[in-house]
Structure 1
Amino acid sequence: MTRGIHPVDEVLPARPMLALALQHLAVSYVGSVAVPLIIAGALGFSQHETILLISATFFCSGVATLLQTIGFWRFGVRLPIMNGVAFSSVSAIIAIGTMPGVGIAGVCGAVMLGGVLIMLIAPIAGRLRRFFPPVVTGCIVTAIGVQLLPVAYQWAGGGHGNKNFGNPGYLAIALLVLITILLFNRYGGPLVRNLAVLGGLAVGALVAVLFGMGDLTPVREAPWLIAPRPFEFGLPTFAFLPFATIFIVMLVQTVESMGLFISIGDIVEREVTPEQVADGIRANGLASTVAGVFAGFPFIAHMENVGLVILSGVRSRWVVALCGLIFCIVAFFPKFGALLAAVPPPALGGAGIAMFGIVAAAGIQSLAKVDYANNRYNMLIVALTLAMAFIPILSPTLFEQLPTWTQSVLHSSVVVACVVSVVLNLVLNGTGGDCDDAHHPTPRDPGHKPDQAELGQLKMRPSV
C-alpha cells in the first residue's frame, strides 16, 4: 500500500480487485434477487415482467453502490458499502402495489417522492452524528451480526420453504464451506485469505451440484440479453397514501443507515463526520429516486457485505465500487445472474455463518473497548439495548398486537438497537457520548471519591 493512502482509498491491482469484487457480488446477489421475486409474485407479474423487475433492481443496486462508494459533490459516504433493496420495504411495497388503482406505477411514484424528501432532510440527519459514540455503535454492529445469523441458518438447512429442511446432506455442505474458509485463512497466502469466502462458496457449490442439490433449470430458461429501461411499467403515478406509507419506511431506513455508516467507519478505522453521514443519506435518497424511474425500490446498505469486509480484511471502497459496476452489467445478462442464483443455499449458509458471526464478534470487540469501570451507565446501556434488540430475533411475535405503524420499527433488531442505545446514552450520559476518550471526562457515580492519582491530576489542572 502506498504510504499516506488510507486502506479505504487504496486501489488494488486489477486481478485481485476483480476477484474480490466478484466475491462481494456472490454474497449480495441472493438478497438482491429475493426482494423483486417476492414482490413480483405478490403483484401477479408474468415471468417476463419478473425478469424485467429483477434486471431493474440489479441495475439500480449497482448505481446506488457507485453513488455511495465513489460519490460526487455532496453525495456518497465514500466507504466500502454495497447498496441494495432492504427487506424492510417489502411489506409496504406489496401493500401499495395491491391498492386499487395504484399498482407498480404508484410504487414508483411513492419511491421517487420519498427519495427527494430524504435528500432534503439529509443535513438534519448529519447533525445526529454526535449521538453515536462507541457504546452505541458497538451495540449496533452486534445487532447487525445477530440479526443476520438466522438467515445463514435458514440457508444452511436448505432454504426457506424446503420440505427437507435440515437434511444432514445440507448441513454437511455448510460445514464443508466453513472448513474450507478456515483452511484458506490458516494456510493460504494473503490473496487466498482475502478470497476465502469465494473459495468456500465455490467448493461447497461444486460438491452440492455433484450430489444433485443444484438446479440449473433457471439458467437454461433465462434470456441471454435484456435491457433495463426507464418507465418500463408505465409512467409513475402520485398519491398521498402510497407516498406516506413508503416515506415512513424510508425514515426508519434512514435511522438504520446512520448507524450503519458510523459503525462501518469504526470497522474500517475511518472517522465518519456529520457531513459524511448527510452525504450518505443524500445518496440513499438520490438512488431511491433513480430507482423509482426504473421500477426499483428504496436502497440502503447491504449488511451481508459488512462481514465480508471484516473477514477478508480488504477495506478498499474501490473493490465494492467495481462490484457495483459489475451489478450494472449483470442487469443486462440474466443468464449470468441466474447462474449466481443457482448456488445451492447450504453453500451460502456456510459462508453466511462465518461472515455474520464475524460481524457480531466485531461488535463485541467494540463493546470491549467501552469504559465500564468508571461509568456504570455504559453497562446498563449495553445490557438494555441488546436485550431489546434481540426481541425481533428471539421472540418475533411479541410485538404483533401493537399498532401496525410500529411494525416497521420493531421488526428490525438494527433499528431497535439504534433507537434504544441512542436514547439511553442521551438520557444517562448526555450529549457528551459515553466518554471513552481522554477529551471527554467520564461521568462519575454520585458517591464517587477520587483516588490519589485523580487528586494529583486535579491539582495539576490550571485554574480558570
Structure 2
Amino acid sequence: MMNTDQHPVDRVLPKRQMITLGLQHMLVAYIGAIAVPLIVASALKMSPADTTVLISTALFCSGISTVLQTVGFWKFGVRLPILQGVAFSSVGPVIAIGLSPGVGFAGVCGAVIGAGVFTMFAAPLVGRLRRFFPPVVTGCIVTVIGLQLFPVAYQWAGGGEAARQHFGALPFLCVALFVALVILAVNRFANAFLRNLSVLIGLVAGSVLACALGMGDFANVAQAPWFTMPLPFHFGMPVFSLVPVMTMIVVMVVQMVESMGLFVAIGDIVEKNISEEDAVRGMRANGLASAIAGMFAAFPFIAFMENVGLVILTGVRSRWVVAVSGVLMCVVALVPKIGAVVASTPSAALGGAGIAMFGVVVAAGVQTLAKVDFEKNRYNVLIVGFTIATALIPVMAPQVFKQMPDWTQPFVHSGVVLACLVSVVLNAVLNGAHEEEAVPAHSMVRE
C-alpha cells in the first residue's frame, strides 16, 4: 500500500508508469545529451569511431550522474527529479584544451577529473550561499531559465540546423503546431495517466506526421553499431597539466553557482525545501560524476532544464522516474542503434514539445514572483528588473560581452549564472542577507 505521507518526490510509482515516464524524460534529454560530444568531436577532428565512443561515454556518464543525483548515497546526491546532462559551458574550454599542443584529449580527461575532485572538496564552501536564495531570487532564476530556452525551441520548430535554406518552411511549423495541439488536447481530455505522458504522445504523433511529410532521416540508424562498451581511458591515461586543470576548475566554479540556483529553484517547483546540506550533496555529486566522466572521456554534468519543464507540465515529481531515465540512458549508450533511432526524431516535433515545456517553466517562475511582496518592498521590483534584463544579454545580444577577458566568458555567457549573481548580490545589498519567509509552492504542479 502506498504511503500517503510520503513526499511526491520520494514516491515510487508502478513499474509501467516508471518505465514509460522515464522513457519520456530520456527522449526529451537525448538530443541535448549528444550535442556537446558531437560539437567537440567535430572541432577536434575525431574519427567516426572516436566520435561514436565520445557519444556513448557522454550518454553512459549522463545516466550515472542522473542516478547519482536522484537516488544518492551517503553525502552525495540532492535527491530531486533532476536529469543530468553535459554542461554546454564546458564546450569552449574542452575544445581549447584539446587543441593545445602537447596536451590533447588526454589533457581534457585529466582536467575534468581534477576539476571534479576540486568540486567535491569545495562544495561545502559554496553551500553556505544557500541563505542568499530567497523566493525573489529563485523566481528570477526559474523565469530566466525558461526564457533562455525559448530560442532552442524556436530553432527546433523551424526545422533545426539541418533545415538550412528551408528553415521556417510551413511543413516544419505545421508539425510543431500539431505537437503543441496534441499536448494541449491530451492534458484537456485524457485521463491522469495519459496526461502524464502528454509530451511523449505529442512527440510520437508529431514524428509520425513529420515522417509522412518526408522529414524523417534514418540514414544514421543503419550506420550505427548494435553494441558498444564504454571503457575508461579510451584515449590513454589522463594528463594532468596545471593550466588545463585550472581552466576547468573555473568552469566548475561557474557550474557550482548555477547548480546552487537550480537546486533551490527546482526544490521550490516540486514543493520540497532544499537545505544547505542538500545543495552541498548535489554539488558534491556533480564533482564525483565529473571525475568519473573524465575517466570515461566525458565532460562535466549539470541539470537539464528541459526536463524540469517536463516535471512541471506532467506534474510527476517522483525522483525515481528520473532515476529510471538515467538507467535507460546507460542502456542506450550500450546500444548505439537505439540511440540513432531516438536521434532521428524530427526537430520540428521537438520544437512543439519544447515550446510547451519551456513555456511552463517561465510560468512557474512568474508564479513564484507573483507571491513576492512588490507593494511594500520596492526593492524587489529593482531586483527582478535588473536580473532579467542582465541575464538575457547572452541570449539576445551575446556580442555585448565579446571584449570581456577570456576568464570571464563562462560567467557572462550563461544566463542562469548571471541571474544567480545579479539577483543574489542585489538582494543582499537591498534587502539584506536574512532568510525571507517561504512562499507557497506552485499550485500548478499537481499530484
Counterpart Cα distance in 2 of 1:199 and 1:383: 37
Alignment match, 1:114: 115
8 A Cα contact 2:77 2:285, kept in partner: yes
Map of 1:122-271 to 2, 5 A cutoff?
122-160=123-161, 162-163=163-164, 164-271=166-273
Counterpart Cα distance in 1 of 2:242 and 2:143: 37
Alignment match, 1:52: 53
8 A Cα contact 2:203 2:349, kept in partner: yes
* Structure 1 residue 389 displacement after superposition: 1.0
**1:36 equivalent in alignment to 2:45:** no
Decide which moves more: 420-429 or 398-407: 398-407
8 A Cα contact 1:370 1:436, kept in partner: no
Counterpart Cα distance in 2 of 1:50 and 1:309: 31
The one-letter amino acid paired with 2:279 is V
The one-letter amino acid paired with 2:129 is L
Alignment match, 2:397: 395
* Structure 1 residue 437 displacement after superposition: 6.7
Alignment match, 1:75: 76
Decide which moves more: 205-214 or 170-179: 205-214
Alignment match, 2:5: 4
The one-letter amino acid paired with 1:222 is A
The one-letter amino acid paired with 1:283 is A
Counterpart Cα distance in 2 of 1:219 and 1:233: 26
The one-letter amino acid paired with 2:46 is F
Alignment match, 1:448: none
8 A Cα contact 1:194 1:314, kept in partner: yes
Counterpart Cα distance in 1 of 2:436 and 2:398: 30
* Structure 1 residue 246 displacement after superposition: 1.0
2:188 match: secondary structure: helix
* Structure 1 residue 434 displacement after superposition: 4.6
Alignment match, 2:445: none
The one-letter amino acid paired with 1:295 is A
Counterpart Cα distance in 2 of 1:216 and 1:251: 40
Distance 1:284 1:187, change over 3 A: same
8 A Cα contact 2:176 2:349, kept in partner: yes
Alignment match, 2:23: 22
1:84 match: secondary structure: strand
The superposition leaves residues 409-458 of structure 1 with CA deviations (integer Å, 9 ceiling, x where unpaired) of 111111110000000000001111455679xxxxxxxxxxxxxxxxxxxx
Task: Pick from 405, 412, 415 the counterpart of residue 414 of structure 2.
Answer: 412
Give the count of matched residue pairs: 438
8 A Cα contact 1:184 1:196, kept in partner: yes
* Structure 1 residue 17 displacement after superposition: 1.1
RMSD: 1.1
1:162 match: secondary structure: helix
8 A Cα contact 2:9 2:317, kept in partner: yes
Decide which moves more: 250-259 or 426-435: 426-435
The one-letter amino acid paired with 1:77 is V
Task: Pick from 373, 376, 396 the counterpart of residue 375 of structure 2.
Answer: 373
8 A Cα contact 1:156 1:174, kept in partner: yes
Counterpart Cα distance in 1 of 2:335 and 2:273: 38
Alignment match, 1:342: 344
- Which protein has the larger Cα radius of gyration, Structure 1 or Structure 2? 1
8 A Cα contact 2:144 2:416, kept in partner: yes
The one-letter amino acid paired with 2:60 is F
Counterpart Cα distance in 2 of 1:271 and 1:208: 42
8 A Cα contact 1:425 1:434, kept in partner: no
Provide the TM-score with structure 1 as the length reference: 0.93
8 A Cα contact 2:113 2:290, kept in partner: yes
Counterpart Cα distance in 2 of 1:172 and 1:344: 12
The one-letter amino acid paired with 1:324 is G
Provide the TM-score with structure 2 as the length reference: 0.97
The superposition leaves residues 243-280 of structure 1 with CA deviations (integer Å, 9 ceiling, x where unpaired) of 11111111101100000000000000000000000000
The one-letter amino acid paired with 2:45 is G
Counterpart Cα distance in 2 of 1:179 and 1:436: 36
1:427 match: secondary structure: helix
Alignment match, 1:101: 102
Counterpart Cα distance in 2 of 1:402 and 1:247: 19
* Structure 1 residue 162 displacement after superposition: 2.6
Counterpart Cα distance in 2 of 1:43 and 1:320: 32
* Structure 1 residue 407 displacement after superposition: 1.4
Counterpart Cα distance in 1 of 2:424 and 2:280: 18
Task: Pick from 365, 368, 373 the counterpart of residue 363 of structure 1.
Answer: 365
Alignment match, 1:304: 306
* Structure 1 residue 160 displacement after superposition: 2.1
What is the identity percentage for the equivalent residue pairs of Structure 1 and Structure 2? Answer: 60
8 A Cα contact 1:371 1:436, kept in partner: no
The superposition leaves residues 28-60 of structure 1 with CA deviations (integer Å, 9 ceiling, x where unpaired) of 000001110110111111111111111101110
The superposition leaves residues 272-325 of structure 1 with CA deviations (integer Å, 9 ceiling, x where unpaired) of 000000000000000000000000100111111010000010000000000001
* Structure 1 residue 2 displacement after superposition: 2.5
2:401 match: secondary structure: coil
Counterpart Cα distance in 1 of 2:435 and 2:154: 36
* Structure 1 residue 127 displacement after superposition: 1.1
**1:324 equivalent in alignment to 2:326:** yes
Counterpart Cα distance in 1 of 2:156 and 2:286: 29
2:85 match: secondary structure: strand
The one-letter amino acid paired with 2:109 is C
Counterpart Cα distance in 1 of 2:221 and 2:108: 29
**1:421 equivalent in alignment to 2:431:** no
1:300 match: secondary structure: strand
* Structure 1 residue 156 displacement after superposition: 0.5
The one-letter amino acid paired with 1:392 is P
Alignment match, 1:449: none
Counterpart Cα distance in 2 of 1:400 and 1:46: 32
The superposition leaves residues 55-92 of structure 1 with CA deviations (integer Å, 9 ceiling, x where unpaired) of 10111000000110000000000000000101111011
Unaligned regions of 5+ residues in structure 1, if any? 439-464
* Structure 1 residue 161 displacement after superposition: 5.1
* Structure 1 residue 100 displacement after superposition: 0.6
Counterpart Cα distance in 1 of 2:209 and 2:416: 35
